[in-house]
Amino acid sequence: MSAPDMIAPGSAATGHGRPARTMGARALIGLAVILTLLIVVAPLVYIFARAFSEGWQVYASNILDPAMLHAIWLTSLVAVIVVPLNIAFGIAAAWAVAKHRFPGRGVLVTMIEIPFSISPIIAGICYLLLYGRQGLLGPWLGEVDLQVMFALPGIVLVTMFVTAPFVAREVLPLMQAQGTAQEEAAVTLGASGWQVFRRVTLPNIRFALLYGAVLCTARAVGEFGGVSVVSGNIRGQTNTLPLHVELLFNDLNAVGAFAAASTLTVIALVALILKAVLEGRRG
Partner 1 sequence: MSITIAGMTKRFDRTEVLRGIDLDVADGELVALLGPSGSGKTTLLKIIAGLEWPDAGRLSVAGQDWLQLAARDRRIGFVFQHYALFPHMSVRDNIAFGLTVRPRADRPAKAQIAARADELMAFLQIDHLADRFPAQLSGGQRQRVALGRALAIKPRVLLLDEPFGALDAAIRRDLRRWLRGVHEATGSTTIFVTHDQEEAFELADRVVVMGQGRIEQIGHADQIHDHPATPFVARFMGATVELPVVLASGRAAAPGLDLTALPRRALPDGTARLFARPADIRAMPDPAGVWHVTSLASTGAELRLTATRADGAEAEAQMPRRGAPALTKGAPIALRVEAAAIFPDARRDTATPVLPLPKEIAR
CA 137, chain centre distance (Å): 29
Q: What are the CA-CA distances from residue 110 to residues 52, 83, 105, 107, 172 (Å)?
A: 45, 21, 9, 5, 13
Following DSSP, what letter does each residue of 140-193 receive, concatenated?
Answer: HHHHTT---TTSHHHHHHHHHHHHTHHHHHHHHHHHHHH-SHHHHHHHHTT--H
Q: Is 175 in the site for partner 1 (CB under 8 A)?
A: no
Q: Which of 38, 41, 189, 272 binds partner 1 (CB under 8 A)?
A: 189
Nearer to partner 1 by C-beta: 147 or 192? 192
Nearer to partner 1 by C-beta: 78 or 94? 94
Q: Which stretch binds partner 1 (CB under 8 A): 144-152, 161-169, 179-187, 255-263?
A: 179-187
Number of shown-chain residues binding partner 1 (CB under 8 A): 16
Cα pseudo-dihedral 153, 246, 266, 125, rounded to 10: 30
Q: Is 176 in the site for partner 1 (CB under 8 A)?
A: no
Q: Is 195 in the site for partner 1 (CB under 8 A)?
A: yes
Instruction: List Cβ neighbours of 74 (8 Å cut-off, separation of 6 or more).
Output: 152, 155, 238, 239, 240, 241
Q: Is 203 in the site for partner 1 (CB under 8 A)?
A: yes
The C-alpha angle 159, 272, 119, rounded to 5 degrees, equals 30
Q: Could you give the CA distance from residue 124 to residue 157 in angstroms, rounded to a whole number?
A: 9
Cβ of residue 109: shortest distance to partner 1, in angstroms? 20
Nearer to partner 1 by C-beta: 186 or 259? 186
Cβ of residue 238: shortest distance to partner 1, in angstroms? 43
Cβ of residue 175: shortest distance to partner 1, in angstroms? 14
Cβ of residue 180: shortest distance to partner 1, in angstroms? 9
Q: Is 104 in the site for partner 1 (CB under 8 A)?
A: no
Q: Is 192 in the site for partner 1 (CB under 8 A)?
A: yes
Amino acid residing at 104: G
Q: Is 100 in the site for partner 1 (CB under 8 A)?
A: no
Binding region for partner 1 (CB under 8 A):
181-182, 184-192, 195, 199-200, 203-204
